[in-house]
Amino acid sequence: MEAALNDCLAKAMIGEPGQASELASRLYDVLVGGDFEALRAHVQALFDAIPHQWHDNNPIARYEGFYASVFYSHIAALGLDLTPEDATSHGRIDLTLRFNAQVWLFEFKVVELAPEGRALQQLKDRGYADKYRALGLPIHLIGIEFSRERRTLVGFEVETLASA
């Protein structure tokens, strides 16, 4: 049920249902392959597909939550094991994905509100991976940064921690 709702939301946010379905299918393949460059390109295409009018006179598009929500809805449409605002003893991970015997920790930032490079650095500084280390799985720290002025992805950094 949740996956169906998020599929509808993702299609509405992108504006073209056929394109949304194609992007979701491609995303699944990218995640299975663990191809981070393809993931960066995918996120770029996802946000580049949002019509510019949806940003005009819409203050929500200026904040991290907008970008995180669009990404969450898109990935949640796949029905994968996601935890938004994943609480740890050091803070909250914006989004955690457990998939394909791996853990993916996502942090989103808007560069006009936080310095560039802060998304990945926050994941590391706050030790967000500690919560998942005992699983013995590879953990991917993924910092994704957007510009509210350019209305698109401007930073994408990945660091993989080897399984314990």
pLDDT score of 9: 43
Q: What type of residue is 79?
A: G
- For residue 49, the surrounding DSSP H or E stretch is none
pLDDT, one tens digit for every residue, the chain (164 residues) = 444 444 444 444 445 555 556 767 788 999 999 999 999 999 898 888 877 666 566 666 666 778 888 889 888 889 999 999 999 999 999 999 999 999 999 999 998 877 788 999 999 999 999 999 999 999 999 999 998 888 889 999 999 998 76
Residue ranges per domain, the chain?
2-161
Q: How far is CA 101 from the centre of its chain?
A: 18
Return the pLDDT at 62.
Answer: 66
Give the pTM. 0.80
Q: Residue 122 has what pLDDT?
A: 95
Q: How far apart are CA 134 and CA 164, in angstroms?
A: 7
Contacts of 65 (CB under 8 A, 6+ apart): none
